[in-house]
Amino acid sequence: MLYLAILNYNTNYNKKIIYFNFLKIKKNIFILKLKKKKFKLFLNIKQTIFFFFFFKILFKLKFKNNLLFFIFIKKEIKSNLDGIFKLFLISIKKKSNILNLNKIFLKLKNLIWTNIGCFDIKDFLTFKFNKINLTIESIDKIPYLTKYFVPKNIRISNTNRVRLGCFISEGVTIMSEGYVNFNTFIGKNCMIEGRVSAGVYISNNTDIGGSCSIMGTLSGGGSNIISIGNNCLLGANSGIGISLGNNCIIEAGLYITSGTKISLIFKNNKIIIKAKTLSFLNNLIFYRNSINGRIECCKNNFNSEKINKDLHKN
């Protein structure tokens, strides 16, 4: 799929583009082909629409530092501009699971993000910021979400902990210690107080407790996407490296990876299995037996409607 964007950009001292805002986005742009008949050019309806759209773009491009940008979203990332644009598409809910983010960290450029704009690191060291109230917000390849996009009906207590490239649905609350990485999905009415790593998928009405952690696909996390179902609860300081079905609970302070040994009763027999065997199953509670120290699992009979819904309103 081909996307076209009109963007406004800034360059560094070497005239390379380092910062850009997307002014207009258009998808499925077709290539113009003119029909020749007796040395005269004739336009069909699609071509007429194309020219109308194209000339409107040219009118907008009369301003300085604007350009047209074409991108095939299924091809791997080729440049800093390419990578930021794909992350932007995820955040504005245009595309997510079909985007090719391969080589994103190899192609993205480390930049200095401030309250007055974005700077190349080498350029920044040569500037003299006299009488300017300058705040360095981050030195990173990926900016905050709110540098490019302000989502609707979402509460974010600390915006510098939410990166561009995350898909956040309406009704979500992200508290001060909550962290959301790029290439993540968060469903409606979730409460995020822990860390949501890259590659994680969270469904609706789920609570991610304070300081809890979800294993992602970066830094040795593997290629398996961790998925959490609807109406789940991860207790404070807990963590998971397996996927959960709907209505599941992880006890506070308990970290479960795919190889963790779980004790449970199956057909009236006590058995021990690896945690990954229970991935995607619904209505489970994971907890540590305070007497013998074993990690156990049983059926969840907890009524999710008893969770404080006022916390999810924003």
List active site positions: 193
Contact (CB, 8 A) for 239 and 214: yes
Q: In sequence order, which residues have a C-beta less than 8 Å from that of residue 196 and are 6 or more positions away?
A: 166, 178, 179, 180, 181, 184, 186, 202, 208, 214
Q: What does the alpha-carbon distance between residue 303 and residue 285 come to, in Å, rounded to a whole number? A: 13
Q: What does the alpha-carbon distance between residue 46 and residue 122 come to, in Å, rounded to a whole number? A: 47
Q: Which pair of structure tokens corresponds to residue 58?
A: 């040219």
DSSP H helix total and E strand total for the chain: 4, 27
Output the CA torsion 267→272→274→280 (10° steps).
30
Q: Which pair of structure tokens corresponds to residue 86?
A: 């794909």
What are the residues facing 42 on neighbouring strands? 35
